[in-house]
Structure 1
């Protein structure tokens, strides 16, 4: 069960923001929202260094996933999502800013430098997403078999486009079935690797506090040690309380819309843009009463990434794959204390 301190991270009182406070205190207040960003296995792989009117957004490689994410691609994506949350919070609080991406040649772990500035920028569209910061949640349960309207799909596409990424929406049943088969193939490839199983198990351990996915630990423990063919996408897609894997049929039925996010390049700048696009899209979805969870397996298995590109019908490099829909009410993932990530 989540401790009260972990739960309180999602209950921020905006009214406590003091516009007359020193800039470093204003930045620390806004960072309460930054840490609510999603991350692979809920690793929360970020650190923030506040110095007067600036904050450095840094990747925390001590929280890397060397097996599933050997090039730190998903780590930087997660940092991009946190950076976007910070942008939304600052705009809502009326704090203008300027951002320099990867400002240090000598320290590549600094992914962004945010400086409060009267001459800075505030995107007028971002404050509308502020309420969704604390409403967004990852739902690993099946979604209602209800189509996502073309209007909402366009909003998701536009959200990614605004951050320099390309979203591809797949709602056709046959196409979703083909993608589901690709996900199952990727799952078999990953679970065949004992290093992958150990890495995943360490992040769903029920004794974890403040990070990871401990709510799935007790139910998934036996699955992780079970015969590999029986351990499919259930662990990272659907709840595992029943102890049974998610079939292709269940995955398709429980995922009315599959969304791929791609970029024209495959470098750290593209990964950071992907993270910002991801979070912008997730907040737009949350504002529409929708939620999402991740199907990144085909992106994580290099041999399948090109096949996913064909299925998404994009002339770009797939970075993320998600399922979007209307799901049941679920609790938030735990969060580390702010004192552990803000310096």
Structure 2
């Protein structure tokens, strides 16, 4: 036998449809083992691929992504998952006759779960299940072929109907991803093979002779109507006729034209009377164009394009059809872009996330143009926090010989008051001085946040500021008297601080020296137990004003409390109002730091990955979806890490729940905080969850039922570590530890901004 004859004997029959459907063997089904054995004995199998063990391990690891399972743990879970079945018997053996490969894959549901795992959360599991029940018809397998494969990759649709009469030619390979051995193979077969190699469980039917007037309804409706028609054929008659029938069956149509990224969407499902192709061929039916020549169709094609602006080489190309070129020119870049656009829009239509219709452009020549550069941040280190500005500690000096307080004394005393803590560093104070009497008001130009229930946190800050002012006055040799809420008619007047000449000489209070050193320190250090003397000093500092300090120091308890407070942080981050209030409180640039309130990024002490995440989370649009899928677990991590490295978690409480209780609690908090500072103990408020509990338990609005349910569960867990007493103000939850000095500290507005003198 000659070499030529041997080659010719191996040629495929060009008139036959080559194999395109895989053969599946599920060994749990009776007779499947014998069928697989017969296949192996037939000699048709050339290559066997069995990576099922790795697939199963990846599936189990994906299901528990946070666990970071070791190889031994994965092996144990794999064994438990298989149960009495062997790995060989599990899943499905798939034979692809065109490549003679036998491949072992997971069962259908697990196969799709793992294959779509990297779609999360651009496509959720619930959305993926909806998409798996959809049917899509595709006519024309150039852009349509790339689209079919992209849809299969993304898991958009499970039932597919593919129609194209054409076979692959070499000139098609400028835009179709095929090998030379596929020349002469029907385009529907090429597409189906590639789709099945992505997902052998798909349900695909072929119309290898294309659509006709006789079979179009079977294609569109068949045993069940398709949900979307992707129309990408070149034949003008079929382009119109298939639309006429899709309109009759109320099936939406999507088309990409490979011209400036032009996309047409016709929602015959939403608007059954909508004219074909947006009315651009008004009065023209499919029959009117059925027998036109290629050149005679050009005016209709141009009318469909219906635009003043064409890509620079389209019109010359149309003029040259049947002169120097045979057909409509298309490029691979346009086919690839079109496949992505159609897949995106089809997915959103199927999920009822897009109800638009009409014409859209994704013109890369326009979008990626020389004048369309996107402004970028100036070059610099990756998310390195900017250099913190310094806080000038106000100076204290003894009054003159007469002992009468001066305006400068008032200014210095108020400056020390401004060094007090406030939630989000809002500095919610306004001071009005008349002689030696300083009135402290709520700054009502700053509306209360959701965390500041009934302005409890604001009153707390006033108490801390008043305590600072008392210390500063006595350190300056003055006496000081504080009257709380002196005018019942004016609830915004929180207290009056009266400065008096000292009745006798006394030593400056020791804590006064630490007013300027007190700072929120979010730095983490290694766990270090607190000495008994430190704990005793902190309890003593809290003993005044009937306050009570509870401390938890057990490392296991601290770890659990970190989990509790971390979930509270997530609730805050996923609440739109609190998210906005938090982002407004952060200072993102050096220029914003100059405002001298809020919290600078450097003060957060975040590692670079968390800092980058914070920037990404700044816009609510980036967070809304996380809320919808109950995600956001990463927002719990900072509190978890902080508590694991802490020496103690404290809860400071005081009897009563009114403004006066929070004011007294603020005084006590400042005394405890200054004491910790004097002992070299790092102090960080962890107040978010506690303030939310206050809102939940005292009838505050602004939280939905799910948030309240979550917070109530956290409250019960928290109560296992701290005694919760009714009618008691929980002033502050805070952590204590040993750490280096903070990278930066909160800035304060200037005294002259906050203090007004009256005659």
Normalising by structure 2, we get a TM-score of 0.41
Instruction: Choose between structure 1 and 2 for higher RCO, CA contacts under 8 A separated by at least 6 residues.
Output: 1
Mapped contact 1:9–1:32 kept (Cα < 8 A): no
Mapped pair 1:70 → 2:453: yes
2:500 corresponds to 1:117: yes
Other-structure match for 1:61: 444
> Could you report, residue by residue, the CA deviation over 1:87-145 in whole angstroms, capped at 9, with x for unpaired residues?
110111110122211001111111111112358799x7871011111111111121332
SS in 2 for 1:151: helix
1:188 equivalenced with 2:582 (yes/no): no
The 3-state SS of whatever aligns with 2:684 is strand
Residues 66 and 128 (structure 1), Cα distance of their counterparts in 2 relative to 1, 3 Å cut: same
Q: CA deviation at 1:342?
A: 1.0
Alignment correspondent of 2:723 = 313
Deviations along 1:185-229, one digit per CA (max 9) or x if unpaired, are 212222221111111000103224200012258752223445451
Distance in 2 between residues matched to 1:317 and 1:8, nearest whole Å = 31
- The answer on 1:221 being equivalent to 2:634 is no
Equivalent residue for 2:652, pick from 251, 255, 261: 261
**Residue of structure 2 equivalent to 1:241:** none
Instruction: Choose which of 375, 399, 411 in structure 2 pairs with 1:28.
Output: 411
Contact 1:9 1:335 in 2 (8 A): no
- Contact between 2:683 and 2:736, CA under 8 Å: does it hold in 1? yes
Unaligned runs of 5+ in 1: 234-244
In structure 2, distance between residues paired with 1:15 and 1:96: 14
Q: Secondary structure at the match of 1:211?
A: coil
1:162 is displaced (CA, Å) by 1.6
Distance 1:328 1:23, change over 3 A: same
Distance in structure 2 (CA, Å) of the matches to 1:313 and 1:8: 38
Give the aligned partner of residue 420 of structure 2: 37
Answering whether residue 584 of structure 2 is matched by residue 198 of structure 1, we say: no
For the 8 Å contact 1:64–1:75, the answer to whether it is kept is no
Q: Hey, what's the Cα distance between the residues in 1 that align with 2:422 and 2:407?
A: 26
Give the drift of 1:247.
Answer: 6.3
Structure 1 residues 292 and 181 mapped into 2: Cα distance closer, same or farther (>3 Å)? same
Structure 2 residue aligned with 1:165, among 547, 550, 559? 547
Q: State whether structure 2 residue 635 is matched by structure 1 residue 232.
A: yes
Match of 1:237 in 2: none
Provide closer, same or farther for how the CA distance between residues 162 and 67 of structure 1 changes in structure 2, counting only shifts above 3 A.
same
Which SS does the other structure have where 1:292 is aligned?
A: strand
Indicate yes or no: 2:687 matched with 1:296.
Answer: yes
**What is the root-mean-square deviation in Å for CA atoms of aligned residues?**
2.6
CA distance in 1, matches of 2:456, 2:504: 27
Residue aligned with 1:47, SS = strand
Rounded Cα–Cα distance in structure 1 between residues aligned with 2:436 and 2:504: 15
User: Distance in 1 between the 2:720 and 2:658 partners?
Assistant: 20
Query: Distance in 2 between the 1:251 and 1:190 partners?
Result: 17
C-alpha distance in structure 1 between counterparts of 2:563 and 2:503, whole Å: 47
- Change in 2 beyond 3 A, CA 1:247/1:40: closer
2:536 alignment partner, one of 154, 162, 182: 154
Is 1:333–2:746 an aligned residue pair?
A: yes
* Equivalent residues in 2 for 1:121-132, closer than 5 Å: 127-132=509-514
Alignment check: 8 A CA contact 2:651 2:730 kept? yes
Instruction: Using the TM superposition, give the Cα deviation of residue 17 of structure 1 relative to its aligned residue in structure 2, in angstroms.
Output: 6.0
1:268 CA displacement? 0.5
Q: Are the structure 2 counterparts of residues 119 and 334 from structure 1 closer, same or farther at C-alpha, using a change threshold of 3 Å?
A: closer
Query: 1: CA distance between counterparts of 2:388 and 2:399?
Result: 25
The aligned counterpart of 2:527 is 145
- Cα distance in 2 between the residues matched to 1:174 and 1:2: 37
Distance 1:314 1:158 in 2: 21
Q: Does residue 1:287 correspond to 2:670, yes or no?
A: no
Other-structure match for 2:434: 51
CA distance in 2, matches of 1:121, 1:265: 35
CA shift digits 1:160-184 (9 cap, x unpaired)? 2223311111101222223222202
> Which residue in 2 is equivalent to 1:246?
638
Tell me if the contact between 2:523 and 2:740 (Cα under 8 Å) persists in the aligned partners.
Answer: yes
Q: Which has the larger radius of gyration?
A: 2
> Any idea what the Cα deviations from partners look like across 1:27-85, whole Å, max 9, x if unmatched?
22211111111111111111111110200122213224322213111111111111111
1:61-100 paired onto structure 2 within 5 Å: 61-100=444-483
- 8 Å CA contact 2:441, 2:494 repeated in 1: yes
Indicate whether 1:136 and 2:518 are aligned: yes
Q: TM-score, normalised by structure 1?
A: 0.86
Tell me the distance in 2 between the aligned counterparts of 1:125 and 1:22. Answer: 18
CA contact (8 A) 1:135 1:286 kept: yes
Q: Report the 3-state secondary structure (helix = DSSP H, G, I; strand = E; otherwise coil) of the residue aligned with 1:275.
A: helix
CA positional deviation for 1:321 = 0.2
Q: Is this contact kept in 2: 1:24–1:52, CA < 8 A?
A: yes
CA 1:231–1:115: 2 relative to 1, 3 Å: same
Judge conservation of contact 1:143–1:255 (CA < 8 Å) in 2.
yes
